[in-house]
Structure 1
Amino acid sequence: MNFKQLEVFLAVADTGSFSRGAEATFLTQSTVSQHIAALEKEFGLKLLDRTGRGALLTEGGKVLCQHARQILAGAAGLDHAMRRFKGIEEAVLRIGGSNIPGDYLIPAVLPLLLERFPGLQVTLVQGDSHEILEKLARETVEIGVVGNADSREDVDFEPLVRDTIRLVVGRGHRWRNKGDIALTELVEEPLILREEGSGTGKALAVALQQAGIDIGKLTIKARLGSNEAVKQAVTAGIGVAFMSELSTGRELERGDLAAIDVSGLQVVRSFYIATRAGRELSPAARAFATVMKEKYQLPPGR
């Protein structure tokens, strides 16, 4: 059984005639008869009585007629839905974002994305980089933006933008007007860090190790689960923190925070578009990746 046979069957049933059914489906009458015969053979039932009054549905034919209409209507609806999905006229996109992409990078491109594709519905799921990559691998999100490119075979990473991580202090801190400090001054200073698994934390640990400092030897006062929590703690004077420039722009402008250089220490990391390895992206996910790269993509060769 196929859709064409059902279309032919309904054409004959609706017109009450094999010849008119053939005209309606642009087939020869013999081809129409073959389609009907194939259906009758498949179901083991006579579906149409050939009478002097035309082709009349049998009781079995009436049952098939009812279901055939539902099947063909469903097929037409499916075709319409897939065309809308392909054109991003009607689609739901689940995006994963680690903390900084989820708080700053992704929200900044949503107005442009939704202006281009007003029928798109976006769900943003946030967590640290490890959590987002796990959600991507479990297919609870289709595409992600993360700050930590783990070496894993099930995810592909494309560099998106670089970010500088700088030491920040609050309004009343004694370093506020120093401009820069020595690396040794950092060891005894109360420090606020992000939670385990944070891309910021990993980048900082690597940079400190390269500078000859074990992060475990620092005076860590707290580990907090978001950039906003870290900013509040620094503003309150609990300690100093290394934070992304992307996340502190407003506070630095207002003077709530001040950025301090640490001699001999440079912390730079990249954010990545993460996708499932070997999997086809939906049109909506491809559109999102395009818009992200338009706004943030690293220049070639950098």
Structure 2
Amino acid sequence: MNLKQLEVFIKVAESGSFSKGAEATFITQSTVSQHISALESEFGMKLLDRTGKGALPTEGGKILLERARKLVEYAKEIPVALARFKGIEEAELNIAGSSIPGEYMIPAALPLLISRFPGVTIVLLQGDSRDVLRKLMTEEVEFGVVGGRFEEESLDFTPLAKDELVLIAPAGHRWAKKSRITKEELLAEPFVLRETGSGTGRATAKALREAGLDPAKLKVAVHLGSNEAVKRAVMAGIGVSYVSAVSVQRELEQGALVQVRVTEVEIKRDFFLATRKGRELSPAAIAFKEIMMQMYAKASIEGGA
């Protein structure tokens, strides 16, 4: 069975004539007969009764006619849908971002994309960096933005922007009056940390190890699943934490949090745009990737995106 056979069957059944079916489908009457015979042979039943009143669909033919009409009509929409997709006139783009990219960087780029391509609908999913990469590998999203490079052979990582992680404490904390603290003082203070798998957590642990501190010796008060939850916990006095500088601008300016500088500890990291190796992006994804690269590539988002 193929689409042409179904089109021929529909025209013959609707017109009641093999000759009219041939005219409507621009083929010869003998070819029409071959198509109908092929369908009857495939389904093992008679689909048209040849009567003095014309070719009338049998009961089985009526079932085929009803479904064939839906199938052929849907097939006609395919070229239109692909044309819209190609021109980014009407498309849905599924992307994912880890905490900072998903909350700050990607939303900041959306107005530019929407202004250029108003027909694009964006679906933004969020999670920690590992979760974002899982969504990418299972093809839930076309690309993701994460706070670190991971060892995944099936993925490509393109450097997107640089970020700084800063130590924050609640307003009125004893460290607020100090210009700097020693790295050893970190081990005596309760910490609020992100969940396992977050880019922020990975970058913090790596920097502490490089400074000669064992991250396992930190006094962890709580692990939380989002950057916003971490900030609220710190403001509530549960502990201190390392977070992205761009995420705490407002709270630092308002005095709800204070930034604490630590001797010998400076945490820089890169954000990466992750895509599947060997897979072609949709036009909408290509457009948004270009916008993200224009806004962030080779730039630092310290102090603002």
TM-score range, shorter chain: 0.7 to 0.9
- Matched residue, 1:49: 50
The corresponding residue for 1:252 is 252
Give the secondary structure class of the aligned counterpart of 1:212: coil
What is the aligned partner in structure 2 of residue 95 from structure 1? 95
| Offset at residue 58 of structure 1 (A) | 5.0
Q: Find the counterpart in structure 2 of residue 188 from structure 1.
A: 188
Per the alignment, residue 289 of structure 2 pairs with: 289
Residues 48 and 61 in structure 1, CA contact (< 8 A), matched pair in contact too: no
Q: What is the CA-CA distance between 1:133 and the residue it aligns to?
A: 2.3
| CA-CA distance at 1:269 after TM superposition | 0.8
Whether the 8 Å CA contact 1:191–1:221 is kept in 2: the answer is yes
User: Does structure 1 conserve the Cα–Cα contact (< 8 Å) formed by 2:165 and 2:245?
Assistant: yes
Q: 1:145 to 1:19 in 2, by over 3 A?
A: same
- Secondary structure of the residue aligned to 2:74 is helix
Per the alignment, do residues 166 and 46 of structure 1 end up closer, same or farther by CA in structure 2, a change over 3 Å counting?
closer
1:28–1:225 CA distance, 2 compared to 1 (3 A): closer
Distance across 2 between alignment mates of 1:46 and 1:251: 74
Q: How far 1:244 moved relative to its partner? A: 0.6
Name the residue aligned to 2:303. none
Deviation at 1:267, TM superposition (A): 0.6
CA distance in 1, matches of 2:85, 2:152: 30
Q: How does 1:104-183 map to 2 (within 5 A)?
A: 104-183=104-183
1:3 aligned to 2:15? no
Query: Which of 90-99 and 145-154 deviates more?
Result: 90-99
> What do the CA deviations read for 1:67-88 (whole angstroms, capped 9, x no partner)?
4323312322444444444444
Q: What secondary structure is seen at the aligned counterpart in 2 of 1:150?
A: coil
Distance 1:171 1:62 in 2: 76
Q: Percent identity?
A: 55
Residue 141 of structure 1 and its aligned partner are, at CA, apart by 3.9
What does 1:11-50 align with in structure 2 at a 5 Å threshold? 11-43=11-43, 45=46, 47=48, 49=50
1:261-300 alignment runs, 5 A limit: 261-298=261-298
Q: TM-score, normalised by structure 1?
A: 0.80
Query: Could you report, residue by residue, the CA deviation over 1:83-139 in whole angstroms, capped at 9, with x for unpaired residues?
Result: 444444554444332211222122222333334444444333322222322333344
Distance 1:39 1:194, change over 3 A: closer
Equivalent position amino acid for 1:144 in 2: G
Once the two structures are superposed, residues 161-188 of structure 1 have per-residue CA deviations (whole angstroms, 9 ceiling, x without a partner) of: 1111112233323433544334344343
CA distance in 1, matches of 2:135, 2:264: 37
Distance 1:67 1:139, change over 3 A: closer
Relative to structure 1, is the Cα distance of residues 194 and 13 closer, same or farther in structure 2, using a 3 angstrom cutoff?
closer
The one-letter amino acid of 1:56's match is A
Per the alignment, in what secondary structure is the counterpart of residue 168 of structure 1?
A: strand
Partners of 1:207 and 1:124 lie apart in 2 by: 30
Seen in structure 2, the aligned counterparts of structure 1 residues 258 and 34 have a Cα distance that, compared at 3 Å, is same
Structure 2 distance, partners of 1:120, 1:164, is: 32
Greater Cα shift, 161-170 or 65-74: 65-74
More moved, 83-92 vs 103-112: 83-92
Distance 1:198 1:16 in 2: 67
How far apart in 2 are the matches of 1:221 and 1:29? 82
Q: CA deviation at 1:12?
A: 4.0
Unaligned 5+ residue runs, structure 1? none
Q: CA RMSD for the aligned pairs?
A: 3.2
Unaligned 5+ runs, structure 2: 300-305
How far 1:209 moved relative to its partner?
Answer: 1.3
In the aligned structure 2, how far is the partner of 1:116 from the partner of 1:141? 21
Secondary structure class of the residue paired with 1:134: helix
What is the CA–CA distance in structure 1 between the aligned matches of 2:41 and 2:229, rounded to whole Å?
71
Residue type matched to 1:242 in 2? Y
Partner residue of 2:229? 229
Q: Distance in 2 between matches of 1:255 and 1:188?
A: 24
Point out the more displaced range, 77-86 or 228-237.
77-86
**Against the structure 1 CA distance between its residues 3 and 216, is the aligned structure 2 distance closer, same or farther, given a 3 Å change threshold?**
closer
Number of residue equivalences: 297
Instruction: Report the CA distance between 1:46 and its aligned residue.
Output: 6.7
1:258 aligns to what SS in structure 2? strand
Deviations 1:19-52 (A, max 9, x none): 444443333445445444544554563736385x
| Separation of aligned partners in 2, 1:200 and 1:176 | 23
- 2:240 corresponds to which letter in structure 1? V
| TM-score between the two structures when normalised by the length of structure 2 | 0.80
Write the letter of the residue equivalent to 2:48: L
